[in-house]
Amino acid sequence: MLPLSGLKVMDFSHAADGPMCGYMLASAGADVIKIEPLEGDPYRQGFASTTFFNGNRNKRGLALNLQREEGRKIALRLAANADIILESFTPGTAGSLGIDYDTIERINPRIIYCSLSGFGQTGPYSRRPAYDPVIQAMSGFMMTTGEEGRPPVRVGPGVIGLGTAFIAAYGILLAVIQREKTGRGQYIDAAFFDTAVFFLNAFLTSYSILGIVPPRMGSANPAFVPYQCFETSDRYVFIGVTQERFWQGFCRALEQPELENDPRFINNQQRLEHRKELLDTLAPVIKSFDSTTLLSRLEAAGVPCAPVNNISEVINNPQVTARKMLNRIEYPDAGGMLVAALPLKMSNCKFAEDVRPPLAGEHTAGILRETGFTDAEIDALRRKGVILNKPM
């Protein structure tokens, strides 16, 4: 039995954060029902569909018109027997639809209700719409990213949204454990903005101590040098020297014994004080090597290093293969595709094999039958436009 078998989840969320949280629960055995409008989740379309494919695996699909009273009644009827609800509406929307925590908690005191949003349910920014780059900009995340003297840049992957998904799943599991002790559910408010602030913890603490706004340094680090990307003769590589033994190994790998004993570079503090001189010295030396030779030497010396890979190289990386971090799924009209596996290995806990996301409303009839609707009622709801209008 999978660890969350027996738990029923209603997933009203869209984009990456809520659906990915739902995917994590589904992979652990929860019965997650993806609830979307009759026209389908907007993330089913175009390039955004890759976000949809990843976040909605291992779920059943229900297409429901929440703008109709009958649709809201169906949602409440399902919620009466659910364990967990996920939603990522703009704060206030769930209340206007009549499917908010207060309403559902009255009919199901055991419900664990998790809202994911840009800025949270409280505070002056709570009603603002937000995407990952909006939060990266406002949180200070973006100002820490990029090269000195150049404009700030976003981190490419949606790290804030995905981080919020993991934090939300953590909160949900805490609530499940607490419910076993108290018999009652609770409300969880997970916000992108809070996640970003949490991720910036070291920067914030540093500022509180030193009063210095961290500069943008690209791949470099204010605490260590050399610790950044360097250009070899054929590609960029990253090298991270954080300890004196790494510095010694680094100098020997480059066949530069004079650097190891140079008083300007004798320890990290001296290297920081002479950062520009050191980097100007290292750049032509490192560029004289091809990446394969240099990385091989650095690895043999125990120095942290890596090639700067592109996506095609990641897909074929032997470590990715060894860790079984990519799964293949088939989706109608889209064909086969690779999706990232759950990044968690446990000694005594298994996870479900990845199953493709549902088609819009694919399991509507079956879910409603489980909830007590007859085939005649289901057919009538289809004709009224309350559920996805497919023939029986």
pLDDT computed for residue 389 by the predictor: 61
CA distances from 68 to 71, 73, 179 (A): 5, 9, 33
- Predicted model pTM: 0.94
Distance linking the first and last C-alpha atoms of the chain? 33
pLDDT computed for residue 126 by the predictor: 96
Torsion 266-268-274-279 (CA) sign: positive
Per-residue pLDDT tens over the stretch 258-288: 999 999 999 999 999 999 999 999 999 999 9
C-alpha of 329 from chain center? 20
pLDDT computed for residue 392 by the predictor: 40
pLDDT computed for residue 333 by the predictor: 87
Q: Which residues of the chain have pLDDT under 70?
A: 389-392
Helix (H) or strand (E) holding 292: helix 291-300
Residue 4: CB partners within 8 Å, gap ≥ 6? 25, 28, 29, 30
CB 90 within 8 A of CB 42: no
pLDDT computed for residue 47 by the predictor: 86
The structural domains of the chain, ordered by start, are 8-198+321-384 (3.40.50.10540), 227-231+236-307 (3.30.1540.10)
CB 115 within 8 A of CB 11: no
Can you tell me the distance from the alpha carbon of 132 to that of 124, in angstroms, rounded to the nearest whole number? 19
Question: In the numeric block, which tokens belong to residue 174?
Answer: 């805490």
Can you tell me the distance from the alpha carbon of 89 to that of 13, in angstroms, rounded to the nearest whole number? 7
Helix (H) or strand (E) holding 33: strand 31-36
CA distances from 148 to 79, 153, 221, 230, 334 (A): 51, 11, 12, 16, 42
pLDDT computed for residue 197 by the predictor: 98
pLDDT computed for residue 390 by the predictor: 58
